[in-house]
Amino acid sequence: MYSKTEVTQLRQAFWTAFGQYMAPVPSAEGETTNWINYKTGVKHLYFRMQADNRQATIAIELSHPDAGIRELFWEQLLELRLLLHEALGEDWTWEPHATDAHGVPLSRIYRELKPVNLFSRDDWPALISFFKPRMMALDAFWADAQYTFEALK
């Protein structure tokens, strides 16, 4: 079992290492990108990477507080499903009605990797190999798809 301080330090060390590993990788549009805190430019639409002592998850999350607007965003993503699938090269889980760790409703499209442990440095190569190509694929998808969300901003 890790202390709270060790958990914080290991989490921070992993994300710092991942950020440094990804720093030289340009976005699909050839620009410098903050891969860890990826900006979609659309409020309440996020690309999230999470990992803990059991699994890693990468997701597109829609967290708009208005359920009707969240539904409009979801429908837009459904329209782009083929484009997303082509960019990712794999099927992801589509969950229109989910909640986050705090019970806040959201919609998400995600992929999981189990079992991995963020707190074991031995698992870091597997985590990086999981996150890197998927984050780059999401970025390539978003380079084309972001314009469909202009009217919903």
Whether 153 is in a domain gets the answer no
Residue range(s) defining the domain that contains residue 57: 42-148
The pLDDT of residue 29 is above 90: yes
What's the mean pLDDT in 103-117?
97
So what's the pLDDT on residue 68? Answer: 94
What's the mean pLDDT in 78-92?
96
Domains of the chain: total: 1
Whether 1 is in a domain gets the answer no
So what's the pLDDT on residue 150? Answer: 79
Measured at the alpha carbon of residue 151, what is the angle toward residues 132 and 136, in degrees to the nearest 5?
10
The pLDDT of residue 87 is above 70: yes
The pLDDT of residue 64 is above 70: yes
149 pLDDT band, cuts 50/70/90, is confident
3 pLDDT band, cuts 50/70/90, is confident
pTM comes to 0.93
Whether 99 is in a domain gets the answer yes
Nearest to 67 by CA among 24, 98, 28, 29: 98
Cis status, amide bond into 26, omega within 30 of 0: no
Q: How far is CA 118 from CA 21, 42, 52, in A?
A: 16, 29, 5
Express as a percent the part of the chain with pLDDT over 90: 92
- Ordered alpha helix ranges (H), the chain: 4-22, 67-79, 81-88, 124-145
Sheet containing strand 56-62, edge to edge, reads 45-51, 56-62, 105-113, 93-99
CA torsion 58-64-70-73 (nearest 10°) is: -60
Whether 109 is in a domain gets the answer yes
Whether 115 is in a domain gets the answer yes
Whether 142 is in a domain gets the answer yes
Take residue 22 and report the two structure tokens written for it. 């990804």
So what's the pLDDT on residue 151? Answer: 72
So what's the pLDDT on residue 153? Answer: 62
What's the mean pLDDT in 1-5?
83
Q: Are 84 and 145 in contact (CB under 8 A)?
A: yes
Whether 122 is in a domain gets the answer yes
Whether 85 is in a domain gets the answer yes
CA 98, CA 4: separation in Å to the nearest integer? 28
The pLDDT of residue 38 is above 80: yes
